[in-house]
Structure 1
Amino acid sequence: MTKFPMTVQGARALEEELKHLKTVMRPQITAAIATARELGDLSENAEYHAAREQQGMTEARIRDIEGRLSGAQIIDVTTIPYTGKVFFGTTVEIENVETEEVLKYQIVGEDEADLKQGKISVTSPIARALVSKEEGDIAVVQTPSGLIEYEIIGVEHI
């Protein structure tokens, strides 16, 4: 089985969501189904059908999280000696050489990637171009609109 990298924080977030789904959502849904059953005819009972649908989605999410965690290779970046180079788990500040736009990203596993939070997947084109580089280096990223050069301004090892 192929293992996928995940930060400790990413694994912790999934474990918390899984715990919430199992200890809070499951009992609530079970109670909602029981209440809806008491209302009588299930074939025309919208509350019952809505609760069953929610149950199906919750159970699917539980299976999804359990699968992700079982296939995760959890990497504690704090145990990796800092070399000044960009690698999985580091946060890197880059500047577009042409536009001077400054961006800051943490390189994380695919399941943790969230551009709005500044987290990019280690398999993304930008991350692949940045890995193994260090402050002052230029990373060239192939995009659909052409090549973009980024200068690495800083690397943070968290």
Structure 2
Amino acid sequence: MEKIIRTALLLWAGISIGQIKLTGVVKDSIGNPLEMANIIALDTVAKRIASYGFSDKQGNYKLDLNSNTTYNIKISYVGFKDLSEFVKTTASNISKNYTLYEDNMLDGINIVSKMPVTIQGDTIIYNADSFTNGTERKLEDILKKLPWGRN
């Protein structure tokens, strides 16, 4: 039984020796923590995702990484500009805080359009500009393009 415990401890120690923790806080430009920010560590040699996580309510995050490796750390959050930084790990844990800045996006788009046909009571009003393309020479040409117009 003692040999099993020793073997298990040696295996656990061997696995945990190569692991370090990258921790920190993700905040916005005025210092508010960003909850659920995406943090991804890409191994630059293997060209694959090595670790990923999300920030908690206080903006804290933690990634488990291998020591003596270079990672491209990518942080993203909806409505903010993405941030990317290269980090070289050593044998000790690393603490890195990140600040994300708002992306200059439009609040919305207003599309203004006139209805080509309007009905008021028993009258149908046509907006002639909606049915023209500049090739018309006479009113008759426009009338032919109106709905129910004669061809």
Q: TM-score, normalised by structure 2?
A: 0.23
Return the structure number with greater strand share. Answer: 2
> Which structure is higher in RCO with an 8 Å CA cutoff and minimum separation 6?
1
